[in-house]
Amino acid sequence: MLKNLFRSAFVAVLVFACSSDDSDGGGSNCPDLINQTAQGDFRGETFVSPGGTYLLAPGGNNGYTCTIYVENRTGGDCVFPVFGNDADPQDSIKFPIDDLSLQTYTFADTGGDTINFNRVAVENNVPVTTAELAVCGTVTITEYDADADTLTGTITAVGQDGSEINGTFILDLCVF
């Protein structure tokens, strides 16, 4: 009898341990996608994205780096854009993709393979980058137009400090 009680208790502990909530990773904790231009809150400031870029990652065989702008680019080039003036923080949202095929990526806070809410600010005449990693996120590539060099998709993500983005984006090819 006592043996059966211990077995039942052990099985109950296993069931509860294995059925823990997985919502911390992989996009399930993110809000549902909204059919709108990509927008959200970047470190306390609301934004509507004016677009962005995608470029072949350094090394040529490492996929692509995608950048969604938080505000309009006012200078620089697509590799080193300037938003506002050089003294303002340069904010963007970055994420990697393997290739340009139509697919869905699910991101969590997994180091380099995540969605980053990036801020580049100048401190003591030196650019300093701080990244707020996503705790959840989903990117779906819905169209690649090789003739127009555009990549279209959807994104929903929430950062560690509460930044968020949700909606559709169109990125232009950036040639380095």
Q: What does the pLDDT read at residue 81?
A: 87
Cβ-Cβ contacts under 8 Å for 172 (sequence gap 6 or more): 51, 52, 53, 54, 78, 149, 150
Q: What does the mean pLDDT of the chain come to? A: 81
Check whether 10 has a pLDDT greater than 60: no
* Prediction pTM value: 0.79
Least-confidence region, from 60-64, 110-114, 151-155: 110-114
pLDDT confidence bin for 28, thresholds 50/70/90: low
Q: Which two tokens stand for residue 5?
A: 């009680």
**Tokens 């290739």 appear where?**
99
Domain residue limits, the chain: 23-173
**Residue-wise pLDDT tens digits, 67-92:** 999 999 888 888 888 887 767 788 99
What does the pLDDT read at residue 80? Answer: 85
Contact 136, 28 (CB under 8 A): yes
pLDDT for 41 equals 96
pLDDT over 90 percentage in the chain: 54
Q: What is the CA angle 112-148-118, rounded to 5?
A: 25
Does the pLDDT value for residue 120 go beyond 70? yes
What confidence score (pLDDT) does residue 114 get?
A: 85
